[in-house]
Structure formats: C-alpha cells, structure tokens
Amino acid sequence: GSFLGPVDLTGLDSLFSSGEKELALQVRRFVDEVIRPDIADWYDEAVFPAEIIPELGRLGVLGMHLEGYGCPGRTAVEYGLAAQELEAGDSGLRTFVSVQGSLAMSAIHRHGSEEQKNEWLPRMAKGEAIGCFGLTEPTAGSDPASMLTYARQGAHGDWILNGSKRWIGLANLADVAIIWAQTAEHGGGRGIRGFVVPTDTPGFTATPIRQKLSMRASVQCEITLDEVRLPASAILPSDSAIGLKGPFACLNEARYGIIWGVMGAARDSFNAVLDYSATRTQFGTPLGGFQLTQAKLADMAVAINKGYLLAHQIGRTKDADPTKLTPAMISTGKLDNCRVAIGIARDSRQMLGGNGITLEHSPLRHANNLESVRTYEGTDEVHQLTIGRTLTGLSAFTTG
C-alpha cells in the first residue's frame, strides 16, 4: 500500500524515495505517540505543549531545511513531507515548526551575521531556544509596508525600537524575536530592516491573544516594544534584508511549508470520515454504501491527490533550483491547497453528522485551524492578486 494510505489513487507513493518515505513515517510515529493522545485536551484547554519542543529538536524538524550551524540540512521535499505529517496532527504544531524554522531561523540564517548565526541557530535547531517573527501589526496585516514600528539610532549606533506587533506565534515563550521595523522617515517599504531582539530586553512585552476559535493548541501574541534598546550589532546586516524583500524571503519559506502542511490536515480529515463511513450505519446501510457519501469521498480524494501533486511539483522545483521557485508558484500552491484543505475538513465534519462537532473527531478542529492557515502568510486575496499581477503585469493591490 501507499505510505499516504487509501487516498493515494494516483501512485503518489512512487514520487518519493524510500528515504523520504521513511522520514515521513518517522514524523508520523512521533505524531501518533506524542500528539494524538492529547491533542483534543490541549485544544479544548487552549494549551500549547511547550514540553515537546526539545523532542521536535531531536526529531530533526527545527530549521530542517537549513544547512550548517547544527541544522539538519534536509531537502525541501523532506521538509514538506514532515510538515504534512505534523499538520495531520494539528496545524498549531506545524505552525510552531514553521515559525521556528522557516521564519525565525531562516531570517537569521539568510540575513544574519556570523555572530548572530552562531549564537542562535544551534540552540534553536535543538529546541533549546525558541524564536518568533514579528512582521504583522494591529494596523498592518496584508500591507506590511505600512508598519508603524520604528527603529531610531542613538548617538552610539545603538537602536531604540517602539511600536507593536500582533498575531505573533509563540512570542510569550520565545527567547528571541525577529522584529521588522521602519528605520527611515520616508523610506516606505525600503526603509524596513530586521532586528534580533532577545525577549528579556527591557521594554519588550508579549501578551497571548485569548478567546481564539482557531489554533487553540498554539499561542499567538500581541507584542509591545517600548523604548527597546539594542546594540548596533542587533540589526540583520545583510543587504538581502534591506526593505520588504527581507521578510518576504522568509515568508516564502513558510508559505512553501504550508503548501504541504495543509494536505496533512486534509488527509487526516479524509481518513477520519472514511473510517466512520465504514462503521456508521443508518437506514440499515453503512454510510459508505450511499451514493451521496461516495460522491463526497471521491471528490475529496481527487482534490487531495491534486494537492499532493502540486506540492510535489513545487518541492522538486525548489530542490532542483531554488531560483526557479517564483512568488507566483508559491502563491498558486498556498492559495489552492489551503482552500481545498478547508473544504475537505468542512465536508468531513458534515459527513460525521452531529458526532463531528466534538473533539472526538479531528475534522472540525482541522477546519477551524485552517481558517488561520488560509489567512496567515498571505490571504487568499493576496495570493490571487500576486498571481493576477504575474498574469497581467498590472498591480491591483492599491487603488492609488
């Protein structure tokens, strides 16, 4: 049988090497042993299980695709396979791995000084230090160029940060925050620079956002920066981090992981409902014997196969030559795999009937999580307009 289970109707199994499949199964075993038994309680009680972070380090999934500095140095496809196994467990768990590896670690790895890399990356790969990534603000979501957080330089070259960030994953647990701030009064997007901020710096506060109906087994925070004073060496020094292309290069990595991750949530929803339709009997027949059930199962399976094919194509392209991985390609995968996955999770809940509304079954939990996933790292609309700009050569992000 296929390592992806009964949903694999198109020979997806043959697209992956035995080493890649073994890695996926290793992550799946971790999810089965460490996540599945407790995820319903964590979600119900809004608890992020921070104690598993060092275990994720030992599993080799933190900064998984990065080379050197104690990072695992895995391929893009291996990283993708791990992401989909983690998200089959819960999107909140995969989000932690994305924020740590694709956002915080990749910002330091790509744009940081040797000193910053040596200080943070080996410990972050082991899960001994936690990172977060502060781009979004209360008034700057899809439009990060409008950020208000400001970094001014003091007389001795030190930097003083003021402002706020919102929706920042794990900021309350983080040891280090990558904070993006405006440095030039009229710099627009090009004045934006990144800073490596130890979270124990005076003036840094992170407050968890409460009453979430999505990503409950994960934490997102509001950060306030009140005269946060940093040495001159805290800036990410690389030219690659001047302007918005600095954070966007990291967002590309996180968006790439999502293309795969959400297929795990879709597959887990599908498996839950396939099992249920074999055992649940109504009108004297297992649900799976009804044509309306089979039509839904067939449509879901077809959509999941297409989603994996898209993720695979994008992953192999990234491994062969990362410069060929265009923003439009990433937007295509992120846009469609997210909306396909949330549709499957919702249809699965429908097929579970009333039993689908508790945490005994995964689909509604996945569907609620996917509300966040289809919104963060670029909404559907941002990705549609990115694709639209590529197709037409016209930017429709502003009316000005």
Catalytic (active-site) positions: 377
Query: 169, 288, 307, 356: which one contacts ligand TGC (CB under 6 A)?
Result: 169
Residues 6+ apart with CB under 8 A from 329: 314, 317
What is the pattern of x (binds ligand TGC, CB under 6 A) and - over residues 307-336?
Answer: --------------------x---------
Residues whose CB is less than 8 angstroms from the CB of residue 209 and which lie 6 or more positions away in sequence, other chains included: 166, 167, 220, 221, 222
Total residues interacting with ligand TGC, rule: CB under 6 A: 29
Q: Is 95 in the site for ligand TGC (CB under 6 A)?
A: yes
Residue 208 in contact with ligand TGC, rule: CB under 6 A: no
Q: Which stretch binds ligand TGC (CB under 6 A): 37-45, 199-207, 312-320, 373-381?
A: 373-381
Task: Give whichever of 60 and 257 is closer to ligand TGC, judged by the CB atom.
Answer: 257
* Interface with ligand TGC, residue 168, by CB under 6 A: yes
Residue with Cβ nearer ligand TGC (4 or 192): 192
- 140-159 residues in contact with ligand TGC (CB under 6 A) are 142-145
Question: Toward ligand TGC, which CB reaches closer, 327 or 343?
Answer: 327
Out of 72, 112, 288, 378, the only residue in the binding site for ligand TGC (CB under 6 A) is: 378
Based on the shown chain and the rule CB under 6 A, indicate whether residue 358 belongs to the binding site for ligand TGC.
Answer: no
Which residue of 172, 220, 269, 362 would you call a contact of ligand TGC, by CB under 6 A? 220
Q: Which C-beta is closer to ligand TGC: that of 180 or that of 276?
A: 180
Figure out which of the listed residues 99, 107, 223, 234 binds ligand TGC, where binding follows CB under 6 A. 99
List b or e across 361-396, with b for residues whose CB sees 16 or more CB atoms inside 10 angstroms: bbbbbbbbbbbbbbbbbbbeebbebbbbbeeeeeee
Using CB under 6 A, which residues numbered 111 to 140 contact ligand TGC? 133, 135-136
- Binding flag, residue 212, ligand TGC (CB under 6 A): no
Burial of 185 (0-12, 13-18, 19+ CB in 10 A): exposed
Radius of gyration of the chain (CA): 21
The one among 81, 107, 251, 373 contacting ligand TGC by CB under 6 A:
251
Residue 290 binding ligand TGC, by CB under 6 A: no
Q: Which is nearer to ligand TGC, 18 or 398 (CB)?
A: 398
Q: Which is nearer to ligand TGC, 7 or 86 (CB)?
A: 86
Q: Is residue 294 close enough to count as binding ligand TGC by CB under 6 A?
A: no
- For residues 267 and 304, the answer to whether their CB atoms sit within 8 Å is yes
Q: Does 195 bind ligand TGC (CB under 6 A)?
A: no
**List of residues 6+ apart from 320 with CB closer than 8 A:** none
Q: Decide: is 222 part of the binding site for ligand TGC (CB under 6 A).
A: no
Which stretch, 154-162, 223-231, 303-311, 375-383, contacts ligand TGC (CB under 6 A)? 375-383
Q: Is 3 in the site for ligand TGC (CB under 6 A)?
A: no
Minimum CB separation from ligand TGC for residue 135, in Å? 4
101 or 169: CB nearest ligand TGC: 169
CA gap 14, 185 in Å, rounded: 54
177 touching ligand TGC, by CB under 6 A:
no
Using CB under 6 A, list all residues that contact ligand TGC: 95, 99, 133, 135-136, 142-145, 167-169, 189-190, 220, 243-245, 248-249, 251-252, 327, 376-378, 382, 386, 397
